[in-house]
Structure 1
Amino acid sequence: MNLKQLEVFIAVADSGSFSRAAESAFLTQSTVSQHISSLEKEFDLKLLDRTGKGAFPTEAGKLLLEHARRILQEGRDVALALNRFRGLAEVALKIGGSNIPACYMIPDCIFSFRENYPGVVITLYQGDSRETLERLKCEEVEFALVGTTFAEKDLVFTPLAPDRISLVVPAGHRWYGKKDIAVEELLDEPLILRESGSGTGSSFRDALVRANLDPDQLNVSLCLGSNEAVKQAILNGAGISFVSELSVRKECERGELFLVAVRGMVISRHFYLVTRRGRSLSPAAEAFVDSILQRFGLE
């Protein structure tokens, strides 16, 4: 059974005539007869009663007619959906992002993207880097932005522009306005850290080791699951922390937070655009990736 046979069957049933069906389908009458005979042979059922007054569906033919109409409509809907997909109209795009990309980088690209592609509905899934990559591997999202790399042979990591992670203190803190501090001074302050799996947290711990400071010696006051939670905790006086400069730009401009340099510690890391190796992106995903690369790609 194929769609053409169903089209011919519907044409015969609707017109009540093999000849009229042949005309409407631009086929010969013998070809129409062959299509109907093939259907009857496949189902081992008589589908049309041939009479002197015309061709009429049998009870089995009526049942097939009901389903055939739905099948052909679904076929037309498939073509319409794929054409919309290709034309970026009424398309759903699912993106994954770890905390910094999801809160600051991806939203920064959405406005201009929506101006050019208003028919694309974007769903953003946020989590730490590991959770985000799991979503990508399970094909819950088409691509992802994360703050660290992992040994994943099925994923492709494309580095984006670097981001600096700096020590941030709130207004009123004794280090507010101070040019720099020694790395050992960190031991005397309550520190707010990110959760395990965070790209920011991993970069900070690696920098401590390079500076010959044992992370276990830190006075950790809180361990929080998002950059926004860390930022709010700093603003509320719960401690100080190392966070992405990208994430506190506005608060620093308003004087609510202040970046303090730590002598001997420079923490710079890349964000990564991650895709599945050997898999094609949808047109909507390709267009959004282009927006990300234009805004945050390496020069």
Structure 2
Amino acid sequence: MPRSAQEWVRMSLRTPGIFIFGMVMAPCGWILDLTATVAPNWRTLHSVPNSPSDQIIEQGIWDICKSFTTSSSRQCNQQDTTYFNEQIIDIAQGLMVASLVVTLLGLAVAIPGVRCWRDRPNWTVAGLGGLLIFCSGVMTIIPIAWYTHILTNVKTVTPLIDVRVGYCIVLGYIGGIFEVLGGFVMFIGICRCCGGKNRGEVRIEEVTSRQPKPAPRRVVVPSLDRARSSVSSSVPYSKDSLDDDVSFPRAKSPAARSTNTSFNGRPYDADL
């Protein structure tokens, strides 16, 4: 048995909390990143000149849509070569797709290491999976932060318009942070720190010292208060002692019948 298994022991067979946290945050972040990648709403253009006042142009990294506030109509596949020729668009497309793929790889690597039906999880494999998830979150935050920084500087056909942040930016930030936190928390399980608390382990010496010593067994001996008969008998109590123990009045025994069979009295008519 290796030395580490002799010195450290897990107090529970449940999945460690750091793995539960990472395996919940990573899929949630992946779904948010997927929405931010495919939805055409990284920024919105309002008050476009020579256009209806209720018109809104939604620009993403793959498509541009035109919608109206007064109706539910929506027109996508709008052409804007000036916008798609920007450097940030190509970088955002590559990094967002790579982030989605790396997150799936990280989950595929982490799942075999997080298996809770084993006595000891595979900390190395699960930690590498957490590292991949962490990197995928970073790859999401980089294009989101860059696009937000140059939000008003990205060229459009009409420069004098009202530019606002789209919901994809918000979802991308939240998803990237989820993946960064989940991957980092899973990765810290690759090494034992904080006295083994991150792995839910304690030293065997501490476990043995915490165990209380068993209390001595108490034997109750019944007390014999009843008087024993002086005559040895197989019956545990004598007849006299049983009579003394009765706490209720006994019924009087009937008088003994006479055994004299002779009769000298005068007979009566009823006797004849």
Common fold by TM > 0.5: no
Higher normalized contact order (CA 8 Å, seq sep 6+, divided by chain length): 2
TM range (shorter): under 0.3
Q: TM-score, normalised by structure 1?
A: 0.21
Q: TM-score, normalised by structure 2?
A: 0.22
- When Rg is computed on C-alpha atoms for both structures, the one with the higher figure is 2
